[in-house]
Amino acid sequence: MALDPRKYKDWQIAEDAEKRMKTVYQLADELDLKELLPYGHYVAKIDAAKVLDRLKKKPDGKYIDVTAITPTPLGEGKSTSAMGLVEGLGKRGRRVIGAIRQPSGGPTMNIKGSAAGGGLAQCIPLTPFSLGLTGDINAIMNAHNLAMVALTSRMQHEFNYSDERLKKIGLKRLDIDPKNVAMGWIMDFCAQALRNIIIGIGGKMDGFQMQSKFAIAVSSEVMAILAVSTSLADMRERMGRIVVAYSRSGQPVTTKDLEVDGAMTAWMVEALNPNLMQSLEGQPVLVHAGPFANIAIGQSSIVADRVGLKLADYHVTESGFGADIGFEKFWNLKCRFSGLKPHCAVVVATIRALKCHGGAPIPVPGRPMPDEYASENVGWVEKGTANLVHHIQTVKKAGINPVVCINAFHTDTKNEIAAVRRLAEAAGARVAQSNHWLKGGEGALEFADAVIDACEEKTKFKFLYDLKTPLAKRVELIAKEVYGADGVSFAPEAAAKLQAMEKDPEMAKLGTCMVKTHLSLSHDPNIKGVPKGWTLPVRDILVYKGAGFVVPVAGAISLMPGTGSDPAYRHIDVDVKTGKVKGLF
């Protein structure tokens, strides 16, 4: 019997459920999975290449993406809803697998916490899930930072050595421009003090002195490569295309030029295999790639999805944040790279978020929820539902069937729920209220039924743009059709890069991965609802040639988040008698 989530914290519910969870060997038996690589009794990796080769003739299952409306800073339970759907489909007797993203140590130790779900809809075991799992993010940090070691070492030697001496040791001068370095360092915490740094302070043997920076690990291009690679050969090729810096003549300097791409791939061999875990009710869950669709691609991996689609009849994958960010990248990037076509997309909504979009005070993480959220206000909900309808229309533009999941809170009222149903159904979506947080799979039966029904309806999947569309036009299409902007403005630096990119025929082969706040359809996190009469300001454009996309950066968003004044690490500890971690959420 599971603990009541109204009385116990998520980590306590997880710890109690872990007493009864299946071993990875039991999960493998149920899936007829022979390619298991155990990491203890309850976590494993799956040899994806062998699975996909063995089952290459087996038809794929139904493909379901879980996204959301524009969230409040507290999040609206998208991972919880993905786990709830997996549990609900399991209760309906369906063979189902979930695929969610591995949490970053940044939010886990900061304000948002882990991303395992919550209540009776979680991925377990919670502690390994939240604290490094099988080392994928550590491998990404090592691979990425090795590229920076290779770059800074090469810069030091080129500065100190003559051409003749470089030739003797087999090096060609790359003439790297210290003012045009594309990459920085990464770590998996929110460390605002490292956003801008000076390195190489000391003597000539202490490195090349220059300005540098840190970003959070999951924003790394290496993480993006993990998410979109389809095989080890594909990953190896992508790793060599990463642009680390530019020469003084403006030529790109790649990891291949630095002869570090092979060693970087060596760090990533094991990381390419997805991790096998389970829901609170024992359904298999694949955990692979990372979060932050606002500053990264933010998708569970193509490899995990391909494995899940072969092993199950229903595969539930997850995209980060709202449909304007996570789903748009799932639609126009991930599906383009994978060749997979989804059957439906779930848009998770909460009455709390709809009230926020309708005029209620914006919740602040770490502070008590404003009193206005505890009382009925149908007017706020109806006004805020415009944001939900906007996301429904985005899903429909992709030719995919939308399902709205109303993630239920105890403060929701019948009249508020009825208003959302009426307006969302009028917009052409199936709607289900789900109580998975409180009741697990039993509370998600209506949700599961709506998804099963949507998966039976035919789809007409189509991309928003083709790769022949010029980059500026792509950005404009995304801004207008997905965000609702009137147009786009490019800062001088971005405009100069855009002009150079559009002359380069290689750029036409790359997708477009937008960086934008997740807290608004616009670039301004304080503007809620469906903003009108605004222009998207693009201040910079990054190039991720290895991952296969260019990255326009809109607004003032940073690739290194900051740690708040009341972070989660203050409440995390270890029971020294048992060694169990407590306080994770």
* Confidence at residue 17, expressed as pLDDT on a 0 to 100 scale: 96
CATH code 3.30.1510.10 region(s) in the chain: 136-265
| CB neighbourhood size of 8 (10 A) | 15
Active site residue 293: yes
Active-site option among 150, 271, 293, 398: 293
Q: Which residue in the list 80, 108, 230, 394 is annotated as catalytic?
A: 80
C-alpha separations of 468 from 102, 490, 507, 508 in Å: 34, 21, 10, 6
Q: Is the pLDDT of residue 182 over 90?
A: yes
Q: Which of 45, 62, 94, 101 is labelled catalytic?
A: 101
pLDDT for residue 464 is more than 90: yes
Decide if 329 is catalytic: no
**Set 185, 437, 447, 490: catalytic member:** 437
* CATH 3.10.410.10 holds for 471-554: yes
Q: Are 335 and 317 in contact (CB under 8 A)?
A: no
Is 6 known to be catalytic? Answer: no
Burial of 296 (0-12, 13-18, 19+ CB in 10 A): buried
Backbone angles phi and psi of 5, in degrees to 5: -65, -15
Residue 205's pLDDT band (boundaries 50, 70, 90)?
Answer: confident
Write down the pLDDT at residue 197: 96
What would the pLDDT profile of 416-430 be if each residue is shown by its tens digit?
999 999 999 999 999
Respond yes or no: is residue 112 known to be catalytic: yes
Active site residue 78: yes
Active site residue 101: yes
CATH 3.40.50.300 residue ranges in the chain? 60-127+278-456
- For residue 365, what pLDDT is reported? 76
Structure confidence at residue 527 (pLDDT): 96
**Mean of pLDDT values over 208-212:** 93
CATH 3.10.410.10 domain locations along the chain? 471-554
Active site residue 463: no
| Coil, strand or helix at 120 | coil
Dist. CA 189–CA 560, nearest whole Å: 8
Q: What CATH number matches the domain at 136-265, 3.40.605.10, 3.40.309.10, 3.30.1510.10, 3.40.640.10?
A: 3.30.1510.10
Mean model confidence pLDDT for the chain: 95
Structure tokens at 162: 């003559």
Which amino acid is located at 544 in the chain?
Y
The model's pLDDT over 53-83, given as tens digits with 9 standing for 90+, comes to 999 999 999 999 999 999 988 888 999 999 9
Question: What pLDDT band is residue 433 in, cutting at 50, 70 and 90?
Answer: very high
Q: Which residues contact 249 (CB under 8 A, 6 or more apart)?
A: 175
* Better-scored residue on pLDDT, 159 or 338: 338
pLDDT at 317 (0 to 100): 98
Which one from 45, 78, 241, 310 is the annotated catalytic residue? 78
b/e per residue 205-231 (b: at least 16 CB within 10 A):
eebbbeebbbbbbbbbbbbbbbbbbbe
**pTM for the whole structure:** 0.95
Q: What is the pLDDT of residues 12-21, one digit of tens each?
A: 999 999 999 9
60-127+278-456: CATH topology is Rossmann fold (3.40.50)
C-beta of residue 424 within 8 angstroms of C-beta of residue 392: yes
Catalytic residue chosen out of the listed positions 54, 182, 409, 411: 409
112, 355, 439, 516: the catalytic one is 112
